[in-house]
Amino acid sequence: MLADIYEIVRQIPPGMVTTYGRIAQMAGYYGAARMVGWAMSVAPPGLPCHRVVNAQGRTAPCWPEQRALLEAEGVSFKANGRVDLAKHLW
């Protein structure tokens, strides 16, 4: 289970993001977005989990560095503070 999720996250290219729900769907765990969120919270070092956001483009509330990591890769944010999913959704 975790290996499937982590393999998908490894494939997200720099400058792109995807959502917890999309990862769950790609891994065959439909409706398990929260499980993916948990997997990101215990992710091994080096996994680009900063590229995973919620369905509205919001970053993790307890991880203020996530936005800076995304911006360093060229990910743009809208005025409301959410990732511009129209431009950066993988």
Q: What are the pLDDT digits (tens) for 4-53?
A: 999 999 999 999 999 999 999 999 999 999 999 999 999 999 999 999 99
| CATH number of the domain encompassing residue 83 | 1.10.10.10
Counting the structural domains of the chain, the total is 1
Structural domain including 18 reads 2-88
| 68, pLDDT greater than 90 | yes
Based on the number of CB atoms within 10 Å of its own CB, is 26 exposed (0-12), middle (13-18) or buried (19 or more)? middle
- How many whole angstroms separate alpha carbon 77 and alpha carbon 41? 23
Q: Global pTM? A: 0.95
Tell me the C-alpha distance between 60 and 12, whole Å: 17
Q: Model confidence at 60, in pLDDT bands (50, 70, 90)? A: very high
